[in-house]
Amino acid sequence: MDDNMTLSAAFKQALYPVGGNGKRNVRVLQEAFEDIDGSVESDIYGKGELIEDFQRRMANYVGKEAAVFFPSGTMAQQIALRMWCDRQGLRRVAYHPLCHLEIHEEDGLKELHRIEPILLADKTRLITLEDVMNMREDVACLLLELPQREIGGQLPDYRELEAISAYCREQGIKLHLDGARLFEITPYYNKSAAEICQLFDSVYVSFYKGIGGIAGAVLAGEEPLIQESKVWKRRYGGDLISLYPYIVSADYYFKLRIQKMDQYYHHAQELAGLYNQCYGVVTKPVEPVSNMFHVHIDLPREQLEPILISIYEETGIGLTSYLHQNDEKSCSYEISIGDSYANLPKDQLKLALQMLDEKLGERGR
């Protein structure tokens, strides 16, 4: 083993990465455009059949009156919460402490809109109906992320979700769905995207997570809200002269992969089962509820990295490109299953995890 090899470099050299839909390179865009007629007109500043048709179909898919395509989910969600605050006449919203807006957006909601977030639950668990009912402050909107990525992609029971939705409507609280991975949770709930979204007043979905497009998102809801969001999209600089590279790739990969969500879900369950047979390893959740989960290993990063690199070199299986140090004795990483898993040589995958089990056992026993 090359002593100077990094985990990231070893992962890139592995023949069989476990997660995702393959490398994010220019080929992803080339493939989406291979069968596109070059004479098709592009969208221009949010208008044109290309973008309008896609927006109509996505609105229909999630069961809402209208939808608008955004370059990013960050833009779409900040705008959605701003609009709900304006309509409610209240500058407070509630969400999970590990919400994307709280930990990944440089306080955009606070700095750009002076909106105060109320953090519900704690960092280790989901928001419950009790949390919502016990809020001391009035809020314009409650944001729920399904699944809750930063705690392993956990999901509430569907009846709990229905109860939260009903309570919010009774109290006049708008309910927004961070559905970056909405499509990936439909197998677990055994519900269509539209059935899930009917519980929410507004919905954001991503087209580069499980779908695997280049970038982009859709915000969906009632027609007046979506028309207003177009004004905010222009204010944010998101109304680019043309968005067709994002739309064409989103449309192509949506059609290619939307029927595979059940496959990804069951493959995630299969892989988690293999991980949980390894010494000192536990997945969170133990049984995944979507195509994603977190792997927690009782070994510090500096000791685990050379073990993983040796496994990659011997088996060709790439388990992860990074490790997050949880504490002095353990670390973790995230797995999201896509097309790649179906193409793995399963004997090599089992060998890789058998080696992981043995090497961890040698350290721990």
282 φ/ψ angles, rounded to the nearest 5 degrees: -145, 140
At 2 the pLDDT is 64
Which strand (E) or helix (H) includes residue 141?
strand 141-145
Residue 89 CA from chain centroid, whole number: 30
State which residues of the chain have pLDDT below 50: none
CA distance 62 to 221: 9
At 365 the pLDDT is 63
- Residue 345: is the preceding peptide bond cis (ω within 30°)? no
CA distance 257 to 279: 34
CA distance 93 to 117: 5
DSSP annotation string for 59-101: HHHTT-SEEEEES-HHHHHHHHHHHHHHHHT--EEEE-TT-HH
Both tokens of residue 225? 């809200």
Sign of CA dihedral 193, 195, 196, 197: positive
Strand partners, 282: 296
pTM, two decimal places? 0.96
CA distance 363 to 365: 6
At 4 the pLDDT is 76
3 φ/ψ angles, rounded to the nearest 5 degrees: -65, -20
Both tokens of residue 121? 């639950």
* Maximum separation of any 2 CA atoms in the chain, in Å: 66
At 364 the pLDDT is 67
271-279 contact pairs (CB < 8 A, 24+): 271/18, 271/335, 271/337, 271/341, 274/349, 274/350, 274/353, 275/353, 277/353, 277/357, 278/353, 278/356, 278/357, 278/360, 279/357, 279/360, 279/361, 279/364, 279/365
Both tokens of residue 24? 């994010």
